[in-house]
Amino acid sequence: MTTFLAGVDSEETAEHLLAYLRGRIDDDDTVYAVNSQRGGDDTSDDEVAAGKSALEPLEEELGADGHQLVRGNSPQEDMIQFARDHDVDELVIAIRKRSPTGKMLFGSTAQDLLLETDRPVVTVPRQR
């Protein structure tokens, strides 16, 4: 039994993560999906609604336990803490295609997550 945590920021991201997870999970695995918002003045009602919509594909298709976190943390802080709290085995995130120069570095959220966590992280490309 494996426990997965999928970090979701949009419905498009959810679709890419679904493509990976469909072929990876077994019936006895647990999937959590997290959408992280800063909260307060840094997050609009539209962003909160979009975050909830981003969780729905994973909840509906995989039965993921979806959580929208609005705690004032960065997405990587929320994912790392959630992974610790729920004894997650594998983190799954989507990354964007970058320019040749940008390929040297992941986005700041992905890079920070990779550097700060002690758990395996799978990166799924957003473009196919």
**Boundaries of domain holding 61:** 3-125
Question: Cβ neighbours of residue 92 under 8 Å, at least 6 residues apart?
Answer: 4, 5, 6, 7, 17, 20, 21, 121, 122, 124
User: Rounded to two decimals, what is the model's pTM?
Assistant: 0.87
Q: Please give the pLDDT value at position 98.
A: 60
Check which CATH number belongs to the domain holding 93 and give it: 3.40.50.620
Distance between CA atoms of residues 14 and 87, nearest Å: 22
Mean pLDDT of 1-16: 94
Q: Please give the pLDDT value at position 90.
A: 96
Which residue matches tokens 């990976």? Answer: 20
Q: How many domains does the chain have?
A: 1
Does residue 13 contact residue 123 with C-beta atoms inside 8 Å?
no
